[in-house]
Amino acid sequence: MQMLIPQVTNLRLLFFSPFPCLSSLSPLTIKPYKPRSLFTALASSYRKRHCPLPNNQPPNLRARNKSTLRESGGGKDKSMEEATEAKKADIAGFNKRRAEGNDKSDRPKKNLQRKVRSLNPINTLSYVQILGTGMDTHDTSPSVLLFFDKQRFIFNAGEGLQRFCTEHKIKLSKIDHIFLSRVCSETAGGLPGLLLTLAGMGEEGMSVNVWGPSDLKYLVDAMRCFIPNAAMVHTRSFGPTLGSVGGFMDDQTKFKEPIVLVDDEVVNISAILLLPNFSKGTGLPNEVTSTQNPTEKVLDDRIGHASQPFRLNGNSRPNAKPGDMSVVYICELPEIKGKFDPEKAKALGLKPGSKYRELQLGNSVHSDFQNITVHPSDVMEPSIPGPIVLLVDCPTESHLEELVSIKCLSRYYVDFSGPPENAKGVTCVIHLGPASLISSPNYQSWMKRFGLAQHIMAGNERKNVEIPILRASARIAARLNYLCPQFFPAPGFWSLQNLDCLAPESTASSEGSISKSCESISAENLLKFTLRPYARLGLDRSVIPSQVASSEIIDELISEIPEVVDAAHCVSRFWHQSTETNGEISLTKGDEVLVEEPWYNENTLPSCVENIRRDDLEIVLLGTGSSQPSKYRNVTSIHINLFSKGGLLLDCGEGTLGQLKRRYGVEGADNAVRGLSCIWISHIHADHHTGLARILTLRRDLLKGVPHEPLLVVGPRKLKFFLDAYQRLEDLDMQFLDCKHTTEASLLAFEGVTEPNRDYSSPASPTRFEDMSIKNTERQLAERVDSTLFAKGSRMQSYWKRPGSPIDNSVVPIVKSLQKVLNETGLEALISFPVIHCPQAFGVVLQASERLNSVGKMIPGWKVVYSGDTRPCPELIDASRGATVLIHEASYDATFEDGMVDEAVARNHSTTKEAIEVGNSAGVYRIILTHFSQRYPKIPVLDDTHMHKTCIGFDMMSINIADLPVAPKVLPYLKLLFRDEMIVDEEDELIEAASVPS
């Protein structure tokens, strides 16, 4: 058996200058062998590997200009060369400090103070609006916008909220407050990205008030790992504190009344807590106190008290957990005063002037000509009560029991028996709970108590799948599917359009008694309910997007680009030719008329792809953008689909679950999540990992009651801090393995190390024997790791091995779990390697075991390399030697804009040209470019001479390993598809959507 073993260097070059001259590196000799196990294979590869630099070649490799990797010519002026050298030295120093995590002094400090806006108490326009997050894919809870002339309030911030607001030009910078109805991944998954975006706006940045029940502190603790403290100084929690074992630590009786959060001349917003009947304990400890005045409970991010476990009084039952608290928000607008009647004032002996104004302000005055006191009610028409909106999140039957028994809500019921002046009529109720619960008889009876209030059912319903929320990306997906359905399968939401029979009926139609007493409708994307002006009070469907079928999009495409019909036929023929000629593809004369490319017949099929089975590997690009979600590209995530053997995720940015559902459909995505064997995270930046919690919690729920292993998450050490803190909020059902323990050197160190012996048959006492085994294991690990990755005097010793961080014996069984995962998925190895981007940034190698192809022949396993975010570096080149596929970030397009190389260097990213040259230097068969900056057009500008083995990634692009020979051939047709697209700066578009005043 001949294998292509991942050639991964030691960590010795991590801090070198980020200007590699790729052609200067000597190629590695890859020798055939037949390993007996994963670790013996790694050991054999590691001991024989060498990668010498050329003689007299300094480790910091040569710099390049924006158009080439070759050295610049020698005709420059001496002063210019000196300036260039000085600039290179500055950049090299900056990147070294950045790699070491010591670049804070280079960054401008931001004082994130929330902007105080001038209020407009008249409020000529006000409404609540359903923001469609989650409504088409059911991955999150919908958000609700409460709009005023000068203020904006958002309730819930699920994943995808930022992307939705960008597409529909909802100004993020106008948001003053964010309220969470529950603290969980479903309602708050988009909050980290939103805070980071708001923190980056303007010269000084800005932040918003974030409100939530006391569980919010757990989320803040978790986000602290990757969000600046300054961005969270306005996070505020309210309600009783929960102990670590279960049960509330505070007297719950004082939270039975509404807690006022916002009270100004524009709106009064209060919260009523739904505390399921989990605990009634008393005698609570005093370590953490709660208050009914939330302004005194600002979470101080500089103090880590919330990270300490809370003690629970023994009287409490250990049933409650963080995330159980839910909130009913009540939004009350001030009353609308009646009009002033000057004729009545004149009849009562008043002269026009200041007394008229006093009466309009609500003050009584003395008549000018009569000996009487004139009251406002004498000259003013009756006031109109201000609209009241309730947002109700009732997720379970336990919450429903609490909801129907809350006494402080009685004043809002039509059958209120108290003093009439205390009665309040509700205008609109927005229900965020699941449709199954809302349709229950108890909930329906509770709804009737609000009389004729308008009820909007915003819980997830299957019927909403029909209309994609992200219409711009859906339009692109439909056009790509028409041109090349093999790489761009039909999106999942259109595949469900014929399943209307499965959709539950709306509440109004299923409950005739309810429709008679109150108005009840299902929420629609961007549906409004107008509150002001009073004359327009009620539903407003004017901005609801119309349903667009894929056929309409294709008709528009053919009308716009008639040649696309022939192009689609040409692309289709590629697959027939590839099947008939085993990957060798030639062009017909007719094809050459449409596309002329010099590299078309350049094909060398690797043996691992020869007659490969189609159920072996598919690479699905769920997100291909960088930094933050945009209209056309979501942030990074890659699904490695191994079909019957499960799958892996490489990075998991915000919205990954929604993208899975758009790709596979709602049910298909659930199956994909169930089948996940491992999630690998490259680094701690938010665009690479903030979708992780949503995936993990869904998998937990899908596998509830089914025997299964916790999901293995491999990531940088800092990610563990986030997950550990977050697990106090929600059980993630996972086990964590540090990337540094999956490097080639570390895996070699684990070779031969066994788990502590748990056999207590020894005469020694069980405790003493176990302690001795653990100490022996730790000593073995320390010796092996010190002799390789942390060798004395090595560059990486001071970086990785720090005081107070001894080797944890718990790593051994988790590494064994990784080996089990690899065996089950048919992989020979998963090896992480360091890259140059930020502290603890990695790339990864996936090496498949040898396998039978479609004709029964044993062939070498494929090799997939993912770069993560990085500058070109020797570690990446070495890891990519002989790879079948290199998935490489290409954040900057050096042909699009001057100075992009300098910016790529400054931000430790790669340009498109650099990414291609890395693949060429490593002898990679196919290069997939991804992680594009959101400022560029949908397809980057590329030099065709570099495209003989390269393809451009798009969201939802699905590349089967059997189709790799065809992949580069599709590029010219993609250029045709986007030839009339305007070159727009999407980053500017993002900022404009976020900050331009309405």
pLDDT digits (tens, 9 = 90+) for 716-741: 999 999 999 999 899 999 999 999 99
364 and 404 housed in the same domain: no
Which pLDDT does position 204 carry in this prediction? Answer: 52
**Widest pairwise Cα distance in the chain:** 112
How far does Cα 179 stand from its chain's mean position? Answer: 19
Q: Name the least confident of 54-58, 345-349, 539-543, 724-728.
A: 54-58
104 vs 415, residue with greater confidence? 415
Calculate what percentage of the chain has a pLDDT beyond 70: 66
Region 117-132 average pLDDT: 80
Contact 563, 503 (CB under 8 A): no
Q: Where are the beta strands (DSSP E) in 73-125?
A: none
Specify the DSSP class assigned to residue 240.
Answer: P
Separation between Cα atoms, residue 986 and residue 634, nearest integer Å = 13
Same structural domain for residues 348 and 455? no
User: Could you tell me the pLDDT band of residue 768, with boundaries at 50, 70 and 90?
Assistant: very low
Tokens 């603290």 — which residue? 183
Banded pLDDT at 53 (limits 50, 70, 90):
very low
Q: Which of 765-779, 858-872, 956-970 has the lowest mean pLDDT?
A: 765-779
pLDDT for the residue 472: 87
Considering the domain architecture, whether residues 727 and 855 belong to the same structural domain is answered as: yes
Predicted model pTM: 0.78
Looking at the structure, tell me whether residues 393 and 414 fall in a common domain.
yes
Name the domain boundary from 461, 487, 522.
461
- Give the pLDDT confidence score for residue 161 in this predicted structure: 92
Contact 129, 147 (CB under 8 A): yes
What distance lies between CA 300 and its chain's CA centroid? 25
Same domain, 347 and 457: no
Nearest to 656 by CA among 695, 684, 683: 695
pLDDT higher than threshold 90 for residue 528: yes
Residues 353 and 450 in one domain: no
| Structural element, H or E, at residue 959 | strand 957-960
Q: How confident is the model at residue 752 (pLDDT cuts 50, 70, 90)?
A: low
- Residue 975 tokens, joined: 């250029």
pLDDT category at 448 given cuts 50, 70, 90 is very high
Question: Of residues 247 and 676, which shows the higher confidence score?
Answer: 676
Long-range contacts of range 549-557, CB-CB < 8 Å, 24 or more positions apart? 549/494, 549/497, 550/478, 550/481, 550/490, 550/494, 553/475, 553/478, 553/479, 554/478, 554/479, 554/482, 557/479, 557/482
A 10 A CB-CB count for 370 gives 12
Instruction: Decide if pLDDT at 631 tops 50.
Output: yes
Number of domains in the chain: 3
Could you give the CA distance from residue 853 to residue 421 in angstroms, rounded to a whole number? 80
Is the residue at 221 inside a domain? yes
User: Which DSSP category does 65 fall into?
Assistant: B
pLDDT, one tens digit per residue, over 930-969 is 999 877 667 777 766 667 899 999 999 999 999 999 998 8
Query: Any idea which of 143-147, 216-220, 225-229 has the lowest mean pLDDT?
Result: 225-229
Please report the DSSP string for 13-57 in residue order.
GTTS-S---GGGSPPPP------SSHHHHHHHHHHH---PPPTT-
Which tokens is 337 given?
Answer: 């005063």
pLDDT of 178 above 80 = yes
Least confident of 116-130, 442-456, 897-911, 936-950: 936-950
Rounded CA separation 971/974 (Å): 5
Position 403 pLDDT exceeds 90 = yes
Q: In whole angstroms, how far apart are CA 129 and each of 265, 424, 431, 455, 541?
A: 21, 22, 13, 13, 10
CB neighbours of residue 32 within 10 Å: 10
CA atoms in the 13 A half-sphere facing the CB of 301: 19
- How many other CB atoms are found less than 10 A from the CB of residue 361? 9
Q: Domain check: are 347 and 231 in the same one? A: no
- Give the chain's length: 998
Q: What is the pLDDT of residue 201?
A: 63
Q: Is residue 493 part of a domain?
A: no
Residue 625 shares a structural domain with residue 710: yes
453 & 368 share domain: no
Q: pLDDT digits over 458-492, tens only?
A: 987 666 666 788 888 889 999 999 999 999 998 76
- Residue 635 pLDDT: 94
In a domain, 858, yes or no: yes
- Residue 598's CB is within 10 A of a number of other CB atoms, namely 10
Question: Coil, strand, or helix at residue 990?
Answer: helix
Average per-residue pLDDT in the chain? Answer: 75
Co-location of 884 and 940 in the same domain: yes
Which of the two residues, 370 and 679, has the higher pLDDT score? 679
Which residues, listed in sequence order, are joined to residue 736 by a DSSP beta bridge? 713
- pLDDT reading at 71 higher than 50: no
Is a pLDDT exceeding 60 seen at residue 384? yes
The structure tokens listed for 888 are 């490489």
Mean pLDDT, residues 174-178: 89
- Of residues 583 and 663, the one with the higher pLDDT is 663
- pLDDT at position 323 is 75
Q: Report yes or no on 78 lying in a domain.
A: no
Residues 712 and 632 in one domain: yes
**In sequence order, what are the residues at sequence separation of 6 or more whose Cβ sits closer than 8 angstroms to the Cβ of residue 210?**
177, 178, 180, 191, 195, 216, 232, 234, 235, 236
Q: What CA–CA distance (Å, rounded) separates 195 from 197?
A: 5
Which of 47-56, 520-529, 616-625 bottoms out in mean pLDDT, i.e. has the lowest? 47-56
Same domain for 352 and 445?
Answer: no
Q: In this structure, are strands 637-641 and 618-623 parallel, antiparallel, or unpaired?
A: antiparallel
Which of 461, 485, 510 represents a domain boundary (last residue)? 461
User: Of residues 972 and 707, which shows the higher confidence score?
Assistant: 707
Q: Kindly give the pairing relationship between strand 235-238 and strand 259-263.
A: unpaired
> Given a cut of 70, is residue 512 above it in pLDDT?
no
According to the model, what pLDDT value does residue 114 have? Answer: 57
Q: Does position 95 have pLDDT exceeding 60, yes or no?
A: no
Mean pLDDT over residues 840-846, rounded?
A: 96
pLDDT of residue 957: 95
Helix (H) or strand (E) holding 147: strand 143-147
**Which structure tokens are listed for 568?**
């689609």
Structural domain includes residue 726 = yes
Q: Does 792 score more than 50 pLDDT?
A: no
pLDDT digits (tens, 9 = 90+) for 258-281: 999 999 889 999 999 998 865 443
d(CA 646, CA 603): 31
**H-helix or E-strand containing 447?**
helix 441-448
| CATH for 213 | 3.60.15.10
> Is the per-residue pLDDT at 685 higher than 90?
yes
CA distance 18 to 145: 45
Does residue 509 lie in a domain region?
A: no
924 and 7 in contact (C-beta within 8 Å)?
Answer: no
| 699-704, Cβ contacts within 8 angstroms, sequence gap of 24 or more | 699/673, 699/674, 699/733, 700/731, 700/732, 700/733, 702/670, 702/673, 702/674, 703/674, 703/733
Comparison of pLDDT for 582 and 878, the residue scoring more: 878
Q: How many CB atoms within 10 Å of residue 420?
A: 6
385 compared with 621, residue with greater pLDDT: 621
What is the pLDDT, as a whole number, of residue 467?
A: 72
Going by pLDDT thresholds of 50, 70 and 90, the confidence category of residue 597 is: very low
Question: CB neighbours (10 Å) of residue 605?
Answer: 15
Pairing between β-strand 235-238 and β-strand 209-213 as defined by DSSP bridges: parallel
In terms of Cβ atoms closer than 10 Å to its own Cβ (0-12, 13-18, 19+), residue 197 is buried
What CA–CA distance (Å, rounded) separates 692 from 714?
A: 12
The percentage of the chain sitting over the pLDDT mark of 90, rounded to a whole number, equals: 43
Q: What is the mean pLDDT of residues 126-146?
A: 88
| Per-residue pLDDT at 577 | 72
> Hey, is 519 helix, strand or coil?
strand
Using CA atoms, how far apart are residues 47 and 27, in angstroms rounded to an integer? 17
Strand ranges for 728-866 from DSSP E: 734-738, 827-834, 842-848, 851-852, 858-859, 863-866
- DSSP 8-class letter at 248: B
Can you give the three-state secondary structure of 667-684, one letter per residue?
HHHHHHHHCEEEEECCCC
Residue 777 belongs to some domain of the structure = no
Domain that holds residue 664: 616-751+807-964
Q: Are 894 and 912 in contact (CB under 8 A)?
A: yes
Asked whether the beta carbons of 560 and 980 are under 8 A apart, the reply is yes
**Which comes out higher in pLDDT, residue 92 or 377?**
377
- End-to-end Cα distance, the chain: 66
**pLDDT of 268:** 96
Please report which confidence band the pLDDT of residue 380 belongs to, taking 50, 70 and 90 as the band edges.
Answer: confident
244-253, 408-417, 701-710, 852-861: range with lowest mean pLDDT: 244-253
Q: Does a structural domain hold residue 713?
A: yes
Return all residues near 959 (Cβ < 8 A) that are at least 6 apart: 487, 618, 619, 620, 621, 885, 928, 951, 967
Q: Which residue has the tokens 């730790």?
A: 778
Mean pLDDT is lowest, of 180-189, 285-294, 502-511, 750-759, for: 285-294
